[in-house]
């Protein structure tokens, strides 16, 4: 669903088109501003604050969030996210967050990128055996190395 809103940005009124992005984890919208700027804005599952994708917790994100909360009623439960900053051999760090839960007798891990956006879910089936769940058509290309490396890191953490 699309909504047209007006925002005061840097003292100027801007027309903004908000398009809801249906997502099972985040309340998420694509915003297109009349000046040509566009980005994705979503509610952080840990704090409930609004995030401007790849920019962070900004005043613009807070304004978008306030408008969205007037348009929609949503009661998103907050989740505790554990953040990991794992050094790699090449001197870089693999930074991600996870929310762990038990579902139907399995350990389930929702994995979040450093920008606080959900990437995928891992389900631990047995020792060193994981099943990966992704959201098809999410329109976001995160680093696929996460898919390969995070199960090994989680195995070390939970062993």
Q: What is the pLDDT of residue 74?
A: 66
Give the pLDDT confidence of 96-134 residue by residue, as tens digits: 999 999 999 999 999 998 889 998 999 999 888 999 998
Strand order in the sheet with 12-21: 2-9, 12-21, 28-33, 38-43, 50-52
In which residue are the tokens 């992005």 written?
A: 21
Strand 50-52 to 82-87 pairing = unpaired
Nearest to 7 by CA among 74, 61, 72: 61
Q: What is the pLDDT of residue 76?
A: 66
- Per the CB < 8 A criterion, the answer to whether 79 and 24 are in contact is no
Q: What is the pLDDT of residue 75?
A: 65
3-state secondary structure 32-99: EECCCCEEEEEECCCCCCEEECCCECCHHHHHHHHHHHHHCCCCCCCCCCEEEEEECCCCCEEEEEEE
Q: Please state the domain extents for the chain.
A: 2-71, 82-158
Q: What is the pLDDT of residue 90?
A: 76
Mean pLDDT of 136-152: 77
pLDDT at 137 over 70: no
Question: In b/e form, how buried is each residue of 79-111, taking b as 16+ CB within 10 angstroms?
Answer: bebeeeeeeeeeeeebebbbbbeeeeeeebbbb
| pLDDT bracket for residue 154 (50, 70, 90) | very high
Coil, helix or strand at residue 154: helix
Q: What is the pLDDT of residue 70?
A: 84
Mean pLDDT of 123-149: 82
Rounded to two decimals, what is the model's pTM? 0.81
């Amino acid at each position: 669903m699309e909504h047209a809103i007006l925002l005061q940005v840097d003292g100027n009124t801007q027309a903004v088109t908000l398009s809801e992005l249906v997502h099972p984890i985040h309340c998420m919208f694509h915003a297109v501003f009349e000046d040509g700027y566009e980005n994705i804005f979503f509610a952080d599952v840990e704090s409930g604050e609004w995030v401007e994708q790849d920019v962070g917790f900004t005043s613009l994100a807070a304004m978008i969030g306030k408008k969205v909360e007037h348009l929609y009623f949503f009661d998103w439960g907050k989740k505790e996210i554990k953040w990991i900053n794992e050094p790699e051999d090449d001197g870089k760090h693999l930074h991600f967050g996870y929310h762990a839960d038990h579902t139907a007798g399995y350990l389930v891990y929702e994995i979040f990128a450093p920008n606080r956006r959900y990437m995928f879910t891992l389900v631990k089936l047995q020792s060193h055996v994981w099943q990966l769940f992704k959201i098809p058509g999410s329109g976001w290309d995160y680093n696929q190395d996460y898919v390969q490396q995070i199960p090994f890191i989680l195995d070390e953490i939970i062993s």
